[in-house]
């Protein structure tokens, strides 16, 4: 899976993109967020409060209960502030 980070999520984690191997226990966006938070450091800071985060799967807005699979592009970011 290709995992992308934007805005302050990217800044806390320290990079904008990484490849993470899919595994059977990573069934949802929330499972991936929990796995990343457990890495500690900037990841723990970025994922400390999931309510402050939004996600997309394959460039479509998705909830933390959305299913993920090998090959997906998954993004984490703050609520959007364009316009």
Partner 1 sequence: MSANIHIQVEDFDVSEEIDALTREQPEGTGAVATFTGYVRGDGGLSALRLEHYPGMTEREIARIAAEAGTRWPLSGVTIIHRVGRLKVGERIVLVAVASSHRAAAFAACEFLMDFLKTRAPFWKEEERGGGAQWVEAKSSDDAAAERWRKA
- Residue 24 or residue 60: which is nearer to partner 1 going by CB? 60
Q: How far is the CB of 7 from partner 1 (least distance, A)?
A: 4
User: At closest approach, how far in Å is the CB of 53 from partner 1?
Assistant: 12
The CB-based long-range contact list for 11-20 (8 Å cut-off, 24+ gap) reads 12/42, 12/43, 12/45, 12/46, 13/42, 13/43, 13/46, 14/42
Residues that bind partner 1 (CB under 8 A): 4, 6-8, 56, 59-61, 75, 77-83
Q: How many CB atoms lie within 10 A of CB 71?
A: 9
- Give the shortest CB-63-to-partner 1 separation in angstroms: 14
């Amino acid at each position: 899976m290709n995992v992308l980070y934007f805005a302050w999520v990217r800044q806390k984690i320290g990079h904008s993109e990484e490849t993470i191997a899919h595994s059977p226990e990573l069934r949802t966006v929330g499972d991936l967020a929990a796995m990343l938070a457990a890495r500690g450091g900037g990841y723990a800071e970025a994922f400390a409060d999931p309510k402050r985060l939004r996600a997309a799967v394959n460039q479509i807005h998705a909830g933390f209960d959305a299913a993920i699979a090998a090959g997906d592009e998954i993004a984490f970011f703050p609520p959007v502030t364009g316009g």
